[in-house]
Amino acid sequence: MPEEIEQICFGWNRRTDEQSLRKFLQKFSQNELLDTLIPRLTDQELTNIIDLLTKTMKKRLREGEYHRLFLN
């Protein structure tokens, strides 16, 4: 098992959860996984993921941060 997968562990403490989430999202965003997963999502699953991510950014990022960090 790759080392970075072994380091993903949720529920211990905030610091470990943050580090694990970073690794999880990095693995999740790999093109091969996304190319396989996205076509299999239902319309509702697709909408739910988009809504969650959009709402989270809107809630936690200032407008300038959103433009700089997300839109580049």
What is the domain partition of the chain in residue ranges? 1-40, 42-72
pLDDT, residue 1, reads: 58
Q: Residue-wise over 13-44: b if at least 16 C-beta within 10 A, else e?
A: eeeeeeebeebbeeeeeeeeeeeeeeeeeeee
How many Cβ atoms from other residues are within 10 Å of residue 70's Cβ? 11
pLDDT, residue 3, reads: 66
Confidence category of residue 8, pLDDT binned at 50, 70, 90: very high
pLDDT tens by residue, 12-52: 999 999 999 999 999 999 999 999 999 999 999 999 999 99
pLDDT, residue 6, reads: 78
Which candidate, 9, 38, 37, 40, places its Cα nearest to that of 22? 9
Look up the pTM and report it: 0.81
